[in-house]
Structure 1
């Protein structure tokens, strides 16, 4: 079974959306997910710091956020920006 998409914008803060998404992906309680850091960033382009090879992105600065979560000893990075809800970025490029 593949994980569902991130929570839609408007249903809690970006950090709350990221926590809910990661808890659902890992099948753990939300209180097991710790917000390590949350920072406002300006992404270089529409990839929101999570570019995938071969994919084209808008070439404009995008205001957003980077959220670092921890479950146990493992950390996870979520990116958000523009109107896009926070999403798990497994291979950050920025």
Structure 2
């Protein structure tokens, strides 16, 4: 469950990220702590999570960076263009 007092932790994107991570790790949503939710403007359509060999639209994209924590391990989720996803290797 999103952490009380963390700005943006109650946003739909943060709730979606918490649910996704809980499912990935097979833990309760209550075990997932929202560390931060930061509004960002991504440089391109990769949403700060570019993968080698892929092409992305070259336009600025409004979104957010959501950092979650479970048992001392942090996980970064990126949001933009109607998507929320875990970014294993952030490039921005």
Query: TM bucket by the smaller chain?
Result: 0.7 to 0.9
Task: Report SS of the residue matched to 2:58.
Answer: coil
Aligned to 2:90: 92
How far apart are residue 83 of structure 1 and its match?
1.8
Aligned to 2:54: 55
Alignment RMSD (CA, Å) = 0.8
CA distance in 2, matches of 1:83, 1:73: 29
Q: How many residues align?
A: 82
**With structure 2 as the length reference, what TM-score do the two structures score?**
0.87
Task: Report SS of the residue matched to 1:60.
Answer: coil
How far apart are residue 67 of structure 1 and its match?
0.1
How far apart are residue 82 of structure 1 and its match?
1.6
**With structure 1 as the length reference, what TM-score do the two structures score?**
0.85
CA distance in 2, matches of 1:13, 1:69: 14
Task: Report SS of the residue matched to 2:45.
Answer: coil
Aligned to 1:20: 19
CA distance in 2, matches of 1:38, 1:54: 29
Aligned to 2:66: 67
Q: Describe how 1:3-18 pairs up with structure 2 within 5 A.
A: 13-18=12-17
